[in-house]
Structure 1
Amino acid sequence: MEYAADDTLLKFPEGTYRLNTGPNTHIELDEYDALGLVGENSNVTFKFTSGTDGYKDIDVTNIGNFVYENIDWDITANDCAPGFAVRARDHLHIENLAVRGRQDKNGGFTLQPGIANASGEGYIKNFSATDGCEIGSVERNGVLVASGRNNGTLRFIDCHLEEFSNNGIYAAASGGPIQVEGGTFRNSEPSQLRFSGEGSYVDGATVELDISKMPREYGEQIENARGIWWETKNTTPLRSGGEIRNTDVVMRNAGPPPLEETSPNSSAGILIPSGGVTIRDSTVRMDITPRPAIHAQGPLQSDLPEPYRVVMDNVTVEGSANDWAAVQIEERPGSVIRGCEFDIGYRNGIVLAECDDSTVENTTINSRYGGGRPIVLWGTEASIDNVSTNSDNPLPDGSNGDSIYGPSPVGGGGETEPREDVLTIDSGGSQVEYTVAASEGIEKSTANGASIEDSDTISRSVAVGRTGENDPDSYILSGELVVLDIEGDATVTLGGRRVEPNGYFDNVVTVNGEDSRSEYTLATSGVLNKTGANGATVDNNDTVRGSTAVGEVNDDVDSYKFSGELVVLDVSSGVNVTLNGRQIDPNDYFDNVVTIDGSDSHAEYTLTTSGVLNKTGANGATVDTNDTVSETTASGQVHGGIDSYKFVGEITDYNISGSADVLVNGKPI
């Protein structure tokens, strides 16, 4: 913006302001001590045009104190889903921002806030985006707090988010506390709120899955929804703890009309896979069979700091769901349930599995039919005091349970849902080689009977290995599965559901410039796309055309997922480059790729380079026998097709007879 400067407040009078943003046109604000954008009244709107980038259409970086207030967004244009990325050093204040319009662009986020300094604070108040996106066809975050973007405290006050396909607020990798006060979070997948950690809390919010409240015809099934996903990941150290208080969580309908056909893949009202939590003065309603209202899984991370117990104080659990358990807590010693009231329908009430030294006291557990066991102990000694029930089944005496109390829900036993982030490769006894990459992180696991082998290696978020003769291999993924390459015959499941490797990319290449700066060019023989694997940022200044990427790293990391082979790799300085987690030498690859694109035309050509030249399938090219290479000169023709060559040095001469586009490293010449 032309008038942006230090210690400046930019005021916008009443009216609508057209913003022509897009992949190459962003509003960038950085390197100021203090800056504000404020509407003078409640009738100020930024109207975005078609072709927005989806990530950083408004990009605020390295500003000491930043204020944005009383300016709404109109995103009703086609191909319009702008992203607001803002990272202040010390203080951030966003208030009264309403987003009007349904986001129809895949990838990215609506808001990505962050505070650089641990002592800093950010306030997001009255931020609403209730039209969301088309779940099932468009992938969008409502709010994303990405790994490494936030070290301070972020507080969300009276916000309202609905119908996002990649979480309402996704802040599991935040390095500082996330605090939600009031607000409504409804009908997003796979969760409405997703974070945890000391100092984090949800207070006075409404968290809901209820498709009958969607204001439009809904054709896609929400297949895998949670209310609150109390999770931490990718922080150093890992974060544990926090509170959920004075909050209503409701899980009613999870399938398309007729709404009675609920989705069996939807999860708990409150799912706790990692950090500890205190839940108090709250109500959780679960109407989806067979899912528990509250499910604390065994902590996923081996180095998770204590406490990771679960405390429930004055919590009401209700709903019509049946089967297994209303509340299930696994491997959380010292957990406490007190002053609670459970209406368990026709199923078990509380299951404590491997939770020694736990307590259930001053609690009522009633069944409408008198069936189900009020408390199930498995591998657990617990104190049970002043618990009332109308169940026909007795309370346990507090000692270790045995088979009469049912199978173990830990480690795959019992009737419990598979963990959504567990990937298992089962080759049925044969040896199969594989490459797996996640968008944020990956770690080995013994889930589903897997073995952990030293020969299976992990580099950041990429795993390369081989299945054993008897046991499968399993991994816990953070973020999304982005690369899956299987050399051989194997069954692959993610969250218990089978996935086909053909639906994923085969490789990931990473340019690591965390301690340096470098420009680079890379090209592959197949499809190429950006990814956040290995801690990478997805930047607008890095461009992809066909299967050629040109960009730069400057104290950050860039990654690309691709099929085929890496055919070109040129870097301007000595940065570290890895392919599927293994370091590679750019000197082993060609430096450039030239493409003659005659997709809609016919042309004959001759080109000469100053160095080695060879054919390649990069950028969708075919490798034809009628195109010839003699030392450093190539001759051929394109007729409704594409030819590409990888080479070292420069193009010293070329001649085109006919009509075709010629590109070097993705740029027309």
Structure 2
Amino acid sequence: MAGVALGTAGAAGAVAENAAAAQTVRGITFDRVLDASDFCDTTGSRDCSSAIEDRLTDGTLIKFPEGEYKIANDIYPGGPSNVGLYSEDGAVFKIPSNHHVTVFLNKGGRNVLFEGIDIDQTADGAFGNMKILCQDNAQIRNVEIIGRAPNADQRLDQHILADVYDSDGTSIIQNFKAADGGYLGAYRNSAGGIQATPGHHGTLKIIDCHLEEMANNGVYATRNDGDIQIEGGIYRNNDVAQVRFMGPNSYVDGALIEIDMSKSDNPGTPRKMRGVWVETKQSKFEGTKNGGYVRNCTIIVRDSPNSIEGIDLDETGGWLEVDNCYFVIDRDDTRAITGYRPEDKASNYPKAPRPWDLTVTNCSITGSAADRESIKVVGRPGSTVENTCIQQTASSRDGVTVVDASDCFVGNSTINVDGREVREVDTNVQTTSIETSGSCPLPGDSSSDSSDSTDSTDSTTDSNTDSSTDSTTDSTDSTATEHELVLTTEDSSEVSYEFTTTGKISKVLDDTRNSAETKNDDVSQNSDGTWSVAGYTGNGYGDSYTFDGELVEFGPETGPFTLTVDGQEVDPSSLGDSTDSTDSTTDSTDSTSDSTDSTDSTTDSTSDSTDSGGSTDTTTTHELIVDGEGRSELTNYEFTVSGSVEQTDDPGEDDVSGTTVVGAVAGGIDSFDFTGEVTSFSIDGPAKVTIDGQEVDPSTLGDSTSDSTDSTSDSTDSTSDSSTDSTSDSTDDSTDTTTTHELVLTTEDPSEVSYEFTTTGEISKVLDDTRNSAETKNDDVSQNSDGTWSVEGYTGNGYGDSYTFEGELVEFGPDTGPFTLLVDGQEVDPSTLGDSDSGSSQTVETVSKLTIDGMGTDELAYYRFSVSGSVKQIDDPGEDNVSNQKVRGATRRGIDEFEFTGQITSFTLDGPARVYLDDTVVDPDTLG
């Protein structure tokens, strides 16, 4: 990928010289330009890292001629500005075996460039990455990671960490390719793609990148208050999620999102693969975050051992708009889109503020998936599915399911499914103009003949082997002829492209201006016998190829380029339009019947695995899922297997120790791979349990146990006791326990206020106050499991909300904002609720911090502790489990941190870790 041709800024390119001998590249002016060959070995024999680092001062650009440069140590010059590492000719940074190296780390600079230099990590155990943590205008362009990241004995970072510290700043990652990824299933012990950390506050643009088979997300950009804007690109077979983001100015636009392990030769097995995951951890940054857009994307879920859905709108995710997207869902039990019920995952993992609605418009959902539904919405009032076509006719497949969500609308759509078009659970959905037959076009297809466009869609599902080939007969000749394809580009442009043919493709390397590149352009044969190219060109140059057979597809459809086949200009958008798709329709039918057969075999394997009287099978891997089905009620569970067990979704609050799992799930899904048999299973709550896709009765799994039940009841008692005590203590003198009180919230104009409050007695909305009336829709009143009552509301722009309540006002949030809080006509300061100075009898509990430091060792340290008060984890949970007043966790090289009240009542540690209490080293044996 390195070595994009660039001219002078005064002409057509990006580099210019001025009278002061300064040079400008990509709009960044450098005072001095150094030639790396003057101080670095270009054959890769001697380490060049320190020589580079020493010269990277403010205003310096280092140019790298073609060659290999050995980088054996981190290059960290600090935070200089107007600095860059740059190659026009095809330079490669070579990482030695068993070295983990950051090839460029800039922290705090502005105007930083890394372009045209590939990173080779093909040596055994080698790993290379970049950390560009800048104030503004960092640019990473035309870079390829060569080789797969290792399955290491320690945690690895992402291939690129990119933060924009300045809230008004913008950085760009463009045409970054890492198609070999990491070791699937290794999660943090192998690499991810691109991550923005909690230090990101500005805008990060990710343009035309190709990230594949990452072990820890393709793009991971949720734990910050900055914007993430993803435009184009390919995100395929990345574990956990292809793209993970959220934010009101954040979006994914025009990307290919694909889960299809038939295209992978990765040695590992993924834990759990999502398409787009919309979520965030609000406690990682100041303020709150909400919203996001997915538009003009193609989202495919085909072959995967454990994928969840095309788009996962998480419990912590806010509103989301999905527009003009094309879904192909072939995996059974897999939805195109799930909007889970908004709820806190943990005390330090809260849900997004309102609004929470999911809007799906102008989308097409096809594919052979059976069971469940195409779209599910849980607890998200005001959600809409409109102008959308769903054609999924396999068995027991519903169209749209809405659970416990008011004011939802489904209409002006085609829903052609085997099951129910719209399924309503604990709600009424407004529906209108729903067609129950017909086929689905591609998004944006203006053809009035729906059968033609549907057949074209079907042929896409069948890997473009039949009708899509027919559609190219106008632009190509018979399969016996060799054809020439030429792509030419406009000046000052960059084009990433892909195309597929039915016959062999060869590069044309002798056309000086339109020559294909030996490095930038990849030709490969696919498993179905077709051939494909993934290429890159621009700035008035082009690429040329010869191919046999027929041209199946070319993308993108439009851009600053011209496509010709055998000298005739071809419109890429016309490829795949066909009036004769009988063959592909037949293929689709065949694949459906094949899918039915596989269901039979799944049923057989399930009965084998759940029959405790049968022989133990220690080699077959089974999948066990505990599915909360969108409920708000928590389910606690524990099970043990006779073989091995591994969690395949994001661990969250679940703990796997040896052959035993202790976990909890609310509205989401916990999934595990195991061998052998389930020897015991206990569950407390309404979740559904499936093994290998078949629902099972947990009481029939192995031997029942009472320990889990006892511990659940114990934890319930402790929660109830502590909750009751704190509730009775934390009231304000402005309320009293025997009278019905009135609470009124008024707001400034203009403003928007999301709020929550809790009382010890019942709360009712006041609906007859015209300006300060509570809303039937925006404001939710609920009773909690400890007997208290809570409200989650939203108002603003000079309006307000009113309630009556019994008992005492326990808490109100936020503490400050553009509002006034009145209780019984008296103004109340929310920050004084629970404060000992307010006149109540409550004493303020001291919050302590406990830190377990793995000290960078390779050996895992296990720990358990309990406290007399409350406890919450303040770092990323990872594999650690916090349940009421007890913590169970493990750390190796990292640090686990917790905040707690009260005293540590017990503590055990097994392994080499250092323990700190309020940042002071303590002997673990003295705790508890």
Q: Into which bin does the TM-score normalised by the smaller protein fall? A: 0.5 to 0.7
1:354 and 2:585 aligned: no
Distance in 1 separating the partners of 2:389 and 2:400 = 11
Alignment deviations for residues 203-242 of structure 1 (CA, whole Å, 9 cap, x no partner)? 110010111112x3x4533341111111122333231111
Query: Corresponding residue for 1:330?
Result: 378
1:297 and 2:350 aligned: no
Query: Corresponding residue for 1:5?
Result: 57
Identify if the C-alpha distance between structure 1 residues 291 and 480 changes in structure 2 by more than 3 Å, giving closer, same or farther: farther
Alignment deviations for residues 230-270 of structure 1 (CA, whole Å, 9 cap, x no partner)? 1122333231111100001101001xxxxxxxx3x420111
Query: Corresponding residue for 1:125?
Result: 174
Distance in 2 separating the partners of 1:288 and 1:9 = 50
1:148 and 2:193 aligned: no
Distance in 1 separating the partners of 2:83 and 2:63 = 11
Identify if the C-alpha distance between structure 1 residues 461 and 152 changes in structure 2 by more than 3 Å, giving closer, same or farther: farther
Query: Corresponding residue for 1:564?
Result: 910
Distance in 1 separating the partners of 2:879 and 2:911 = 17
Instruction: Indicate if the aligned counterparts of 2:162 and 2:197 stay in contact, CA closer than 8 A.
Output: no
Query: Corresponding residue for 1:212?
Result: 262
Instruction: Indicate if the aligned counterparts of 1:142 and 1:161 stay in contact, CA closer than 8 A.
Output: no
Identify if the C-alpha distance between structure 1 residues 308 and 478 changes in structure 2 by more than 3 Å, giving closer, same or farther: farther
- What is the TM-score when the length of structure 2 is the normalising length? 0.46
Identify if the C-alpha distance between structure 1 residues 348 and 567 changes in structure 2 by more than 3 Å, giving closer, same or farther: closer
Aligned partner of 2:652: which letter?
D
Distance in 1 separating the partners of 2:386 and 2:263 = 33
Matches within 5 A, 1:12-411: 12-21=64-73, 26-41=74-89, 43-53=90-100, 56-106=102-152, 107-137=156-186, 139-214=189-264, 216=265, 218-233=266-281, 234-254=284-304, 263=305, 265-273=306-314, 274-301=317-344, 304-345=352-393, 346=395, 347-367=397-417, 371-390=418-437, 409-411=630-632
Distance in 1 separating the partners of 2:55 and 2:303 = 50
Q: Please state whether the residue corresponding to 1:269 is helix, strand or coil.
A: strand
Matches within 5 A, 1:442-521: 479-484=876-881, 505=890
Instruction: Indicate if the aligned counterparts of 1:378 and 1:408 stay in contact, CA closer than 8 A.
Output: no
Offset of residue 487 of structure 1: 13
Aligned partner of 1:387: which letter?
I
Q: State which structure, 1 or 2, has the greater radius of gyration over its C-alpha atoms.
A: 2
Offset of residue 158 of structure 1: 0.4
Aligned partner of 1:8: which letter?
T
Distance in 2 separating the partners of 1:28 and 1:117 = 21
Distance in 2 separating the partners of 1:96 and 1:148 = 26
Offset of residue 419 of structure 1: 8.6
Q: Which has the higher helix share?
A: 2
Aligned partner of 2:231: which letter?
E
Instruction: Indicate if the aligned counterparts of 2:54 and 2:77 stay in contact, CA closer than 8 A.
Output: no
Distance in 1 separating the partners of 2:650 and 2:148 = 31
Distance in 1 separating the partners of 2:272 and 2:81 = 43
Offset of residue 480 of structure 1: 4.8
Distance in 1 separating the partners of 2:849 and 2:387 = 47
Q: Which has the higher strand share?
A: 1
Q: Which region of structure 1 is more displaced relative to structure 2, 157-166 or 344-353? A: 344-353
Offset of residue 360 of structure 1: 1.2
Q: Please state whether the residue corresponding to 1:372 is helix, strand or coil.
A: coil
Distance in 1 separating the partners of 2:251 and 2:236 = 18
Distance in 2 separating the partners of 1:380 and 1:285 = 29
Distance in 2 separating the partners of 1:151 and 1:342 = 38
Alignment deviations for residues 155-174 of structure 1 (CA, whole Å, 9 cap, x no partner)? 10000011111111111113
Alignment deviations for residues 514-562 of structure 1 (CA, whole Å, 9 cap, x no partner)? xxxxxxxxxxxxxx53236569xxxxxxxxxxxxxxxxxxxxxxxxx99
Query: CA-atom RMSD, angstroms?
Result: 4.1
Offset of residue 99 of structure 1: 0.7
Distance in 1 separating the partners of 2:175 and 2:850 = 37
Distance in 1 separating the partners of 2:342 and 2:202 = 25
Instruction: Indicate if the aligned counterparts of 1:110 and 1:142 stay in contact, CA closer than 8 A.
Output: yes
Q: Percent identity?
A: 27
Distance in 1 separating the partners of 2:634 and 2:419 = 19
Distance in 2 separating the partners of 1:219 and 1:327 = 33
Instruction: Indicate if the aligned counterparts of 2:105 and 2:131 stay in contact, CA closer than 8 A.
Output: yes
Alignment deviations for residues 388-441 of structure 1 (CA, whole Å, 9 cap, x no partner)? 1149xxxxxxxxxxxxxxx97433699xx999635336731237789xxxxxxx
Alignment deviations for residues 131-161 of structure 1 (CA, whole Å, 9 cap, x no partner)? 1122134633433435422111101000001
> Aligned residues, how many?
467
Instruction: Indicate if the aligned counterparts of 1:421 and 1:476 stay in contact, CA closer than 8 A.
Output: no
Instruction: Indicate if the aligned counterparts of 1:49 and 1:77 stay in contact, CA closer than 8 A.
Output: yes
Offset of residue 466 of structure 1: 7.9
Query: Corresponding residue for 1:550?
Result: none
- What is the TM-score when the length of structure 1 is the normalising length? 0.62
Aligned partner of 1:10: which letter?
I
Instruction: Indicate if the aligned counterparts of 2:385 and 2:410 stay in contact, CA closer than 8 A.
Output: yes
Instruction: Indicate if the aligned counterparts of 2:171 and 2:205 stay in contact, CA closer than 8 A.
Output: yes
Identify if the C-alpha distance between structure 1 residues 315 and 453 changes in structure 2 by more than 3 Å, giving closer, same or farther: same
Distance in 2 separating the partners of 1:70 and 1:248 = 29
Distance in 2 separating the partners of 1:360 and 1:15 = 59
Offset of residue 308 of structure 1: 1.8
Distance in 1 separating the partners of 2:235 and 2:307 = 16
Distance in 2 separating the partners of 1:28 and 1:104 = 23
Identify if the C-alpha distance between structure 1 residues 202 and 82 changes in structure 2 by more than 3 Å, giving closer, same or farther: same
Identify if the C-alpha distance between structure 1 residues 210 and 386 changes in structure 2 by more than 3 Å, giving closer, same or farther: same
Offset of residue 484 of structure 1: 4.8
Offset of residue 62 of structure 1: 1.2
Instruction: Indicate if the aligned counterparts of 1:232 and 1:238 stay in contact, CA closer than 8 A.
Output: no
Distance in 2 separating the partners of 1:220 and 1:566 = 29
Alignment deviations for residues 476-504 of structure 1 (CA, whole Å, 9 cap, x no partner)? 9985534359999x9x9xxxxxxxx7xx5
Offset of residue 451 of structure 1: 6.5
Distance in 2 separating the partners of 1:315 and 1:157 = 23
Instruction: Indicate if the aligned counterparts of 2:95 and 2:128 stay in contact, CA closer than 8 A.
Output: yes
Distance in 1 separating the partners of 2:851 and 2:376 = 30
Identify if the C-alpha distance between structure 1 residues 562 and 74 changes in structure 2 by more than 3 Å, giving closer, same or farther: farther
Aligned partner of 2:181: which letter?
G
Offset of residue 380 of structure 1: 2.0
Q: Please state whether the residue corresponding to 1:428 is helix, strand or coil.
A: helix
Q: Please state whether the residue corresponding to 2:327 is helix, strand or coil.
A: strand
Offset of residue 33 of structure 1: 2.6
Instruction: Indicate if the aligned counterparts of 1:314 and 1:338 stay in contact, CA closer than 8 A.
Output: yes
